[in-house]
Structure 1
Amino acid sequence: MCKKYKLCKIVLCSFLITSFMFIFAGCSSKTAETTNTNSQSKIKVVVSFNAMKEFASAIGKDKIAITTIVPNGTEPHDFEPTTESLKNLSSANVFIYNGLGMESWTDKVLKSIDNKNLVVVNASKDSNPIKNTDAEEIEEHGEYDPHIWISLKGAEVESKNIKDALVKVDPSNKEFYEKNYDEFSKQLKDLHNEYTKKFETVKNKNFVTGHAAFAYLCRDYGLTQNSVENVFAEGEPSTKKLKELVDYCRQNKITTIFMEDMVSPKVSTTLANEIGAKVEKIYTLESKEDNKNYIESMKNNLEIIYNSLK
């Protein structure tokens, strides 16, 4: 009787385990299917940092799901990718990065993932880049100034490259992406034309920023920037450099020192106090700031620069 009881117990346990496994497998299968269905309903886009997200969002809208690698409040120049970054890229359809040396980690990351179908977008492709002139910057960061997105003309180039990639990956929605790009491009052109006329009316073309991120904007409107820190926001100025900035500000009647979110305010504030100027915030769009989109941020930048020059 004892052996029969044990045998019955074993058979019953086996039956229950098999049943639970079957039920669990069925549930898991449905969960995975639902997840896949949801994820497949949108194109999975990974972007390097906020400005690329702004352009992708303007064109892809609700057809795409965006993951940003560099968190808000983190300097993209110095960022080191995480395991999560690799995981996101391994399952993505599109990866968008600025290029021109902005994301020094891109090549290393792309070599380390296994995603043969990933469409990689160098958003600054076919642009007209500005060359760095400082030998140390060239050696450490590369030949070009990467801040092309802080230019309405640069934004048009980058958003077109993004649009072309989305059309390639999702040709059935080509008209949708083309329409959104045309609308965004018109916004960029209208804003550019508005401020081209405004900047033509000012005699003083010089302004001072926290770091030298606005060369492309300057090129668009014939302006000149002088900055506390270099193109890659590295290092506080020497006493000699600070004195030169003070002299520059006085000679050019600078009334505003512009300061960016991720650059130390100490030197900018010291400089402003020395010349009796005010400090005003300007956007680099490397992070999402004050809940403004690209057009709103750039309009703010252009307006406060224009007002400082009047």
Structure 2
Amino acid sequence: MKRLLLCFLALLLVFLSGCASEHQAAPEPATQDKLSVVVSFYAMEELAREIGGDAITIHTVIPSGEEPHDFQPKASDLSALSQADVFIINGCDLEEWAPKAIATAHNPKLRVVTASDGADIHYIEMKQVLPGQKEEKAADPHVWLSLKNAKVEARNMRDAFVAADPAHAAYYNERYARFTGKADSLLAEYTRKFAAAQRHTFVTGHAAFSYMASDFNLTQLSLSNVFAAGEPSIHHLKNLADECRRDGLTTVFMEAGESPRIPNTLAREIGARVEVIETLEEGDGTETYLETMQKNLEKLYQSMI
């Protein structure tokens, strides 16, 4: 009788183990199977990590604190590109050095992903931000600072990973579904919060947050334009201070790495505090993309209640 009972229990364990395995996450690839991914800068790294997880290795071209526009890749970056499976750039003319780097790498298997393809792009009249410019428009490159657009950028990365590594398509699809679910939850949470807030305007040092503002029907004021070109004039500073007082703003936001001198000047003028908000152009990897975005949104919300 004991023997029969033990056999029954053993069969039951095998059955339950098989059922549980049906609901487990897709297995992570072995180390030797990892996809080689090169990204242009930190925001692309974090989004790629959200989708690729442990299935990819990442080489980031632009170090934290470097300007993406004028950056020149090093020999080690070109070497990484020559061996990579996927190269991810944001686009919107942010990485002007990328076409030459791709040509120099001579890598016929390289899949190039312009992450912002298909996103809702904001265009700026250049003569409004840079006096003397021709009547032309330029794209605001800060696409990744919209949760809605980040889902588009993540989808483009997912599609490239699946195409380059179809054996692990289930893994990439699962991580993409998890990412978009969390992004949608954040969108829903802060849509409710901002709708109930006392104010709907915020002020920043650099006009990098128009995409974030659009997600939640907020208004961004700023000391410098979207390209952070030049210092604000006395006239602009005075008008901005008047707008901040009119809207009752109590916080001036500045990005990490930005000089605090002018944000502090505005803050003193309107009796506000200065607080750092992240553009994800640089970082140390201690927080995920979604964790950083949640912190940004909570800081904005707290400044409006």
Tell me the residue number matched to 2:210.
215
Tell me the residue number matched to 1:46.
38
Stretches (4+) displaced over 6 A: 138-142
Tell me the residue number matched to 2:101.
109
Instruction: Tell me by how many angstroms 1:58 deviates.
Output: 1.0
Within 5 Å, give how 1:1-310 maps onto structure 2.
40-135=32-127, 143-288=138-283, 291-310=286-305
The secondary structure found in structure 2 opposite 1:90 is helix
Structure 2, gaps ≥5 residues long: 1-29
Q: Deviations over 1:78-129 (max 9, x none)?
A: 3222222211111111000100122121122222220011000000111110
Q: Which piece of structure 1 moves more, 136-145 or 146-155?
A: 136-145
Instruction: Tell me by how many angstroms 1:291 deviates.
Output: 2.2
CA distance in 1, matches of 2:285, 2:303: 21
CA distance in 1, matches of 2:185, 2:105: 41
Amino acid at match of 1:50: Y
Tell me the residue number matched to 2:11.
none
Instruction: Tell me by how many angstroms 1:288 deviates.
Output: 1.0
CA distance in 1, matches of 2:258, 2:171: 38
The secondary structure found in structure 2 opposite 1:111 is helix
Higher radius of gyration, 1 or 2: 1
Q: TM-score, normalised by structure 1?
A: 0.84
CA distance in 2, matches of 1:82, 1:261: 25
The secondary structure found in structure 2 opposite 1:309 is coil
Q: Deviations over 1:30-85 (max 9, x none)?
A: xxxxxxxx985311100001111111111111111000001012232332222222
Structure 1, gaps ≥5 residues long: 1-37
1:281/1:290 CA distance change after superposition, 3 Å: farther
Q: Deviations over 1:240-271 (max 9, x none)?
A: 11111111111111100001013211100111
CA distance in 1, matches of 2:158, 2:177: 10
CA distance in 2, matches of 1:296, 1:289: 13
Tell me the residue number matched to 2:16.
none
Checking the alignment, whether the CA contact within 8 Å between 1:58 and 1:181 is kept in structure 2 is yes
Checking the alignment, whether the CA contact within 8 Å between 2:93 and 2:139 is kept in structure 1 is yes
Checking the alignment, whether the CA contact within 8 Å between 2:90 and 2:115 is kept in structure 1 is yes
Tell me the residue number matched to 1:27.
none
Amino acid at match of 1:122: T
Amino acid at match of 2:34: K
1:243/1:207 CA distance change after superposition, 3 Å: same
1:290/1:115 CA distance change after superposition, 3 Å: closer
Checking the alignment, whether the CA contact within 8 Å between 1:75 and 1:262 is kept in structure 2 is no
Cα RMSD (Å): 1.9
Checking the alignment, whether the CA contact within 8 Å between 1:233 and 1:263 is kept in structure 2 is no
CA distance in 2, matches of 1:80, 1:142: 25
1:289/1:43 CA distance change after superposition, 3 Å: closer
Q: Deviations over 1:141-184 (max 9, x none)?
A: 96210111001101100000000000000001000000000001
Amino acid at match of 1:164: D
Instruction: Tell me by how many angstroms 1:203 deviates.
Output: 4.0
The secondary structure found in structure 2 opposite 1:143 is strand
Checking the alignment, whether the CA contact within 8 Å between 1:259 and 1:281 is kept in structure 2 is yes
Q: Deviations over 1:254-301 (max 9, x none)?
A: 100001013211100111011110000101001115822111110111
Checking the alignment, whether the CA contact within 8 Å between 2:244 and 2:270 is kept in structure 1 is yes
CA distance in 1, matches of 2:33, 2:256: 36
Amino acid at match of 2:143: I
Checking the alignment, whether the CA contact within 8 Å between 1:101 and 1:142 is kept in structure 2 is no
Instruction: Tell me by how many angstroms 1:140 deviates.
Output: 12
